[in-house]
Amino acid sequence: MNSPSLRLSVSAAHRSSALVSLLIMGACLIWPWPDARAEDPTVEATVTSGCAGSGSGICVENPDCGDPLPDQEQTRNSWSPNPSIDLGNPPCKPTGPTLICVGLGGYAYSISGYSDLDTYTPQKRTRSGSYDGECVWHWGAWSGWANDGSPQQAGDSTDVIAWHTTGGSITSAGVLTAPTAPGAISITATIDDAPASVSPPDVGTRDDSPVTSAALAVTVVAVTDLTVPGATEIPDGDTDNVNTKAYVIAKSDTAGATLVATAVPSSGPPLPGCWGFTGGTAVGDGLLQRSIPLDQPGAYTLDVTCGTSFKKAVVYVVEVDLDIANGGSDLDNGEVDNSPPSALLAEADEGDPTGEGAFLLVNWDDDDADGAINAAGSGWVSVPVPDLDENPVLDEDNLAKVKLSLTPAMTVGTLELQLDSGAASVKIWDTATKGSAVTDLDWDLATEAPPSELWVEGRSFSPEKGVVLKLRYKAPAGNEVDNDKVKATVVLIKLAVGLHREMASAISDLGHAGLLTAFTGNCTKNDLLDSAKYEVTEMQADPDTCVRTTWKAFHSAAPVYWGQYDNSPTYTQRLRILLAAKYIFTGGTTKYTAANVLEPGDWNGQLANVAALRCDGLVELCHEWSGLSVWGRIVDGATHYSLSAYLGEHNQLVGNWKKNLFPATQSAHESTYKGSAWDTAFSLIDAVEPLGTMNW
């Protein structure tokens, strides 16, 4: 076929062919390079289009088959002065993360780029057939790699012959195991083009020399710290106090209060995908900060991990709670077993910072009924023993329960029950019946389990809210983390005192007397000050016997109440007075008399033979039966106190009544002849301490 001829460089024709190949290749293409092959041989020939009717290709006629270059391999760097593999610049990007966690394996890397160093071998090729004598030069092409590292040039075999890293270990497949220390590492790869053979009738080979890629910088990240500001560090129970820690902080009374913990990485954000922070509630994205509630006691676990590095913190939000119940209100000689109350006071009533606190009575009664009068009333089968003086006590019902709690339960530090004030007024026991006194009130939680409840005994009256109990939790270093207080008042009720007032009649000045013999209310301030909650035993003309009424009724029966009187009896003597009054009341045979203090006039000293008593006679008899002197006539400078020995003098009615025994002189309310004609051991006292004035 004939056509106009033109002059054309063979190398130019090859560049055009290479461009077409590039445009159809896979993922990572190398765009046409600058014409860096000006030295390539050029064939001077007459070129026509179409060859032997093939319709394609280039025909070269009458070529000069000279050898413009030496017959040896020539190396041409067509792109840059140094070999490189692009691992990071678009459009070719590396696979595998550049932020990784320490100590992990499985980070896979593959080449995504190209080698720009080619070796060209010019070959003289002689075509056969109708084209004999035609000469062309065959040039090596380029080699490129997709992300999976496979060759993209037909007939080429491109291999990564070596991977390199400055840290960790990397396999021949490009899988990295990160080093165990954080920092920066560098990854490179050496890539080789295996020789590509040329199919006949072409001859020769093309071989690209191995090249080493540019370095890929990889940051190895570790967890370096986990901080819990505001909390106190405590031993966590293991030998590693670096990665695992424990903290303690007091519960907050503020609703919604939180504590924020912060994870610290070895490098700043962004963080590798293997970074994890769990526990609590996320703050922001939760990768660096998480919060735990401070108003909810409990143990909260925070875990932050990055590969083989980790930090773990258990934060104990602790609440110390001390609760107290009122004490039992029953003061008696074992007649009634009223179990002590178990209902704990509401938090707002505990006395700190608000409320009246608990109330408990001085435990001077005889719940196990040690004392007894014989049947004839001539003496004692056994003398009562106050519960204060013995333990354990059967049917004890006066102690106040105290509950101790620490939430959550801790196994380090100490729990301590402390008497901040009022220690002289109370004693602490392990059971409600005074099993054993508890004097060691510190518990090492590593070796001891503190009791859940203790019992407080009132032993002497205190100021109002004068007993302060504090339960506190201390960290192992000795610093207090949290505490709770309750306050209490120990009340002394002086049962067995004589009560005196005007008489409700025309001869009111002579007065009326009775005995305060029981408290019938609950151990609360309101009841303790309510005179209707107290029992009075007295002699009454109507119904002509010994009766029981209330202190309120006794007080209000006449316009003027004089007060309460006694002569400082011991607790044992008070118990004996109460037993004597009980004997008279329960016997039911003793009548009221207005004429004499006691009848018959020849009384033999036995309670069973007391036929009649005046109101002041009941007070006189019960006190004397307990070994206490009350009123006595003065004869020749001596005071005749004994009722049984000087019954006539006590019963004397003739003359001026102010010289004789009556309620008014028994209490010394009428004192005209006190110290000259008679004397009394009674003095005005407060029957309920420390509360003072009763509510009438």
CATH number at residue 291: 2.60.40
Shared domain for 591 and 521, answered yes or no, is: yes
Q: Where is pLDDT greater, at 244 or 27? A: 244
66 phi and psi angles, rounded to 5 deg: -70, 170
From 268, 289, 320, the end of a domain falls on 320
Q: Is the pLDDT of residue 17 over 70?
A: no
Q: Is the pLDDT of residue 550 over 80?
A: yes
Which of 182-196, 471-485, 606-620, 679-693 is the least confident region? 182-196
From 287, 320, 353, the end of a domain falls on 320
Percent of the chain topping pLDDT 70: 76
Shared domain for 78 and 94, answered yes or no, is: yes
**Helix, strand, coil in percent for the chain, rounding step 5:** 10, 35, 50
Range of the domain at 236: 223-320
Per-residue pLDDT at 192: 67
Q: Which two tokens stand for residue 324?
A: 């107290």
Q: Which of 511, 546, 550 is nearest to 534 (CA)?
A: 550
Q: Is the pLDDT of residue 123 over 50?
A: no
Shared domain for 31 and 57, answered yes or no, is: yes
- Cβ-contact 594, 492 below 8 angstroms: no
Mean pLDDT of all residues in the chain? Answer: 82
Shared domain for 202 and 331, answered yes or no, is: no
- Cβ-contact 228, 108 below 8 angstroms: no
Per-residue pLDDT at 644: 92
How many whole angstroms separate alpha carbon 338 and alpha carbon 330? 7
What average pLDDT does the segment 58-78 reach? Answer: 37
Of 5-9, 86-90, 308-312, 652-656, highest mean pLDDT: 308-312
Shared domain for 637 and 582, answered yes or no, is: yes
Per-residue pLDDT at 299: 97
Q: Which two tokens stand for residue 175?
A: 């899988």
Cα 404 to chain center, whole Å? 15
Residue range 29-48, pLDDT digits in tens: 232 323 222 233 333 333 33
Residue range 254-282, pLDDT digits in tens: 999 999 999 999 998 899 999 999 999 99
Residue 31 lies in a domain: yes
Shared domain for 560 and 423, answered yes or no, is: no
Residue 247 lies in a domain: yes
Per-residue pLDDT at 81: 31
Per-residue pLDDT at 158: 54
Shared domain for 185 and 62, answered yes or no, is: yes
DSSP per residue, 398-448: -PEEEEEEEES--SSSEEEEEEEE-GGGEEEESSTT--SB----EEETTT-
Q: Please, which pLDDT band fits residue 208 given cuts at 50, 70 and 90?
A: low
How many whole angstroms separate alpha carbon 380 and alpha carbon 388? 21
Residue 468 lies in a domain: yes
Q: Is the pLDDT of residue 110 over 50?
A: yes
Shared domain for 620 and 501, answered yes or no, is: yes
Q: Is the pLDDT of residue 625 over 90?
A: yes
231 phi and psi angles, rounded to 5 deg: -95, 155
CATH number, domain containing residue 623: 3.90.1720
Q: Please, which pLDDT band fits residue 695 given cuts at 50, 70 and 90?
A: very high
Shared domain for 146 and 196, answered yes or no, is: yes
Q: Is the pLDDT of residue 26 over 90?
A: no
Q: Is the pLDDT of residue 177 over 90?
A: yes
Shared domain for 152 and 242, answered yes or no, is: no
Q: Please, which pLDDT band fits residue 512 given cuts at 50, 70 and 90?
A: very high
Cα angle: 271, vertex 274, 277; to 5 degrees: 75
Residue 4 lies in a domain: no
Shared domain for 681 and 619, answered yes or no, is: yes
Residue range 437-475, pLDDT digits in tens: 999 999 999 999 999 999 999 999 999 999 999 999 999
Relative to beta strand 591-592, strand 612-613 is: parallel
Q: Is the pLDDT of residue 331 over 80?
A: yes
How many whole angstroms separate alpha carbon 106 and alpha carbon 109? 9
Q: Is the pLDDT of residue 214 over 80?
A: no
Residue 3 lies in a domain: no
| Helix H or strand E encompassing 567 | none
**pTM given for the model:** 0.77
Domain count, the chain: 4
In 3-state terms, what secondary structure has residue 663? helix
Q: Give the list of residues 6+ apart from residue 32 with CB closer than 8 angstroms, or none.
A: 15, 18, 19, 22
Q: Where is pLDDT greater, at 112 or 118? A: 112
What average pLDDT does the segment 559-587 reach? Answer: 97
Q: Give the list of residues 6+ apart from residue 474 with CB closer than 8 angstroms, or none.
A: 413, 414, 415, 416, 480, 481
Residue range 383-401, pLDDT digits in tens: 999 999 999 999 999 999 9
Percent of the chain topping pLDDT 90: 69
Q: Which two tokens stand for residue 657?
A: 């009544």
How many whole angstroms separate alpha carbon 454 and alpha carbon 399? 10
Rounded CA Rg of the chain: 55
Q: Is the pLDDT of residue 66 over 60?
A: no
Residue 694 lies in a domain: no
Q: Please name every residue paired with 403 in a beta bridge, in sequence order, or none if there are none.
A: 323, 453
- Neighbour count for residue 415 (Cβ, 10 Å): 22
Q: Is the pLDDT of residue 25 over 70?
A: no
Q: Is the pLDDT of residue 8 over 70?
A: no
Residue 696 lies in a domain: no
Residue 377 lies in a domain: yes
Per-residue pLDDT at 193: 55
- Cβ-contact 328, 243 below 8 angstroms: no
From 221, 250, 284, the end of a domain falls on 221
Per-residue pLDDT at 95: 67
Shared domain for 627 and 505, answered yes or no, is: yes
